[in-house]
Amino acid sequence: MAHQRGHRERGVPGGMVRARTALGIAQAAGYVDVLAQALRAGGVTVRSGGELVALQAGERTEFGLDVGEDGTYSVVRLELRWETPVPEEHLDIVPGMWPTNPSSPGADGPSPAW
């Protein structure tokens, strides 16, 4: 996109990438198509200049759509919101006993994955 607005600091929760530009209608529709494909694939990654946000799609989405006229402009505003999925904790259970100090003599074998 040609013109950017907004700010995002990498690694800061709640960061946003905001962009606004003038496009042909076919190119704007292309962005909407790619966004729909990304949601179906389970996540959305948006990069604008040096800013990047990657979001995992949630199970249920709040969908908002505002359509109308604002002065001399026709306006369509789309908003999608979902709770950020929390990764499940991974638990490995391994048969046998693992030494409590992996550096002790006789501590052979891989360490458990926790």
pLDDT tens, residue by residue, 53-66: 999 999 899 999 99
Res 15: pLDDT: 76
In the 3-class helix/strand/coil scheme, how is the chain assigned residue by residue? CCCEECCCCCCCCCCCCEECCCCCHHHHHHHHHHHHHHHHHCEEEEEECCEEEEEECCCCCEEEEEEEEECCEEEEEEEEECCCCCCCCCCCCCCCCCCCCCCCCCCCCCCCCC
Is residue 29 over pLDDT 90? Answer: yes
More confident residue, 99 or 103: 99
What pLDDT was estimated at residue 30?
A: 97
